[in-house]
A and B are shown apart, each in its own frame.
Chain A
Amino acid sequence: MTKKFITELKGKTVMTNDGQILGLIENFMFNTETGELQNVLVIPAENIEPRLFRTDTQGRLVLPFSEMKAVRDVVVMDID
């Protein structure tokens, strides 16, 4: 079981599995009743078209936490 401090993940680069940089992790959305992590909030990189993604009121990309695959030096998201 991989456990990490949330502060270790903030600021990490998020990539798609074909190597495109999506942006930087800013925060996470969680369910207060269960503690389940629902979404990763990502500040989009300059060359990313945010309209192709779900975004919040602050323009952050709202990505499903379940699509987070590898978490090493960068975070890889399994998005088609």
Chain B
Amino acid sequence: MLEEASELIGMQVYTDKGLFLGNINNLIIDLDGARIDGLFVHDTNPMLVDGSKAVSVPYRWIQAIGDVVILKYFPKRVGPRRK
């Protein structure tokens, strides 16, 4: 189904476990691949993302787009990169 990209902005994102991740703030597009690369979510749920940092959710993790966006995968917890 074709949709206008701006429809996604402001949508709520929920994980496969039913947890609220945050609202879509922006979309990252891949110009060479002509596709949406990721959903940029800021003010994320601190239960899922350390320090409520902004994350880019890969498009392939999306399960469904309707009134809200449901993901088919999201890590249990997103933290600082381990060295």
Q: CB within 8 Å of B: which residues of A?
A: 1-7, 9, 27-38, 41, 65-66, 68, 71
Q: In terms of DSSP, what is the predominant structure of the interface of chain B?
A: strand
Contact with A along B3-31 (1 / 0, CB 8 A): 11110010000000000000000111111
**B40 CB–A CB distance under 8 Å:** yes
Is A65 within 8 A of B34, CB to CB? yes
Nearest-Cβ distance from residue B67 to partner chain A, whole angstroms: 13
Which chain A positions have C-beta within 8 A of B59?
Answer: 35
Give Cα A29 to B5, complex, Å.
Answer: 6
Q: Check A30 against B36 for contact (C-beta < 8 Å).
A: yes
Complex formed: what's the CA distance from A9 to B9 in Å?
14
Q: Is there an interface contact between A37 and B35, defined as CB atoms closer than 8 Å?
A: yes
- Residues from chain B with Cβ under 8 Å of A35 in the complex: 35-37, 59-60, 62
Name the residue of chain A whose CB is nearest to the CB of B59.
Answer: A35
Min C-beta distance of A78 to chain B, whole Å? 13
Q: Are B34 and A6 in contact (CB under 8 A)?
A: no
Q: Does B75 contact A (CB under 8 A)?
A: no
Instruction: For the complex formed, measure the closest distance between the CB of B22 and the CB atoms of chain A, giving whole angstroms.
Output: 16
Residue of A nearest to B4 (CB): A27
Q: Is the beta-carbon distance between A3 and B37 smaller than 8 angstroms?
A: yes
Cβ–Cβ < 8 Å partners of B29 in chain A: 3-6, 9, 28, 37
